[in-house]
Structure 1
Amino acid sequence: MEILELEGKPMNPLNGLREYLVIISPPTFIKNDVWEFKNEFFEHFGNAKYVRSQPHISLSNFLIESTPETTIFKELYHFLKDGKSFEIKISGFESFENSKTLFLEVAETKIVDLQKKLVEVLRKRAKIANRFTRKLEKPHITIASNIPDYQFD
């Protein structure tokens, strides 16, 4: 894996919070393989949520109200600057029944450790409240989500 990215979504005018997603962007050859799966899904089943999204592994999402982005970037940089690269293994296709999501499962304890430490940094060093910071349940690369029941089976 090469790049850790931070994607900010626009302010939610109802609650004054911004939502961020911290992701790992896989190398181009992995992205190309995932695009093939996404395109195959699209050809057989049509459009679905995230079927056209960039392939990535989501690590954490968080909400902020007043913490400046520069503080978050600084803390993430210090957290990651001495990190060593590691390989991950894709163990196959899986699904989340509740959200009707098809994904590639990432089977690697190092990525789970990275998630845990990342959330700790966001909570302690960037001072983002526990209720606004979480690691995602299971590291994965989404193929498509919100698939209609009749297609999901």
Structure 2
Amino acid sequence: MLALFIKKKQQYDEAVRYSQKAVSLAPENPIYTHNLAGEYVDLQQHDRAETLLREFNMAYPEHGYVNIYLLLADIYLKNFDWENAVHECQRVIQIDKKSIDAHRILGVVYYNREQYDLAKEALENTLTLAPDDKVARELLEKIEEKTRE
């Protein structure tokens, strides 16, 4: 809890130290691992975050904590690793069909891959779950423009 408080004060290096301690005391706890990886992302240490999350998934393959998969999907999205981003989103949707973030990330990935039918489907799923989602609405408009051309 102290790491989260410190993170809110944007003292990321110190938050990392506390989160590392939490992970060392309870390595099986997905929340602690997720928090530490999120702090690495805040510090622009995406490779370190990805490695931590992948190692956690290998050590605890049945953890079912969707935020781990979503953070990985977001890291892959930022690194243009479309295939792995899709894989992580699909894992999330298997666990939670109503994950707005997973559907939105899928929509963004498919849009970037120019797979507009799949993007449209994912973004429409996003809007079904979150009608005011601006990202989904804007991408759907872009898809409509591109498919009219």
TM over 0.5: no
The structure with the largest helix share of the pair is 2
The structure with the largest strand share of the pair is 1
TM-score, normalised to structure 1, is: 0.21
By relative contact order (CA 8 Å, sep 6+), the higher-ranking structure is 1
TM-score, normalised to structure 2, is: 0.22
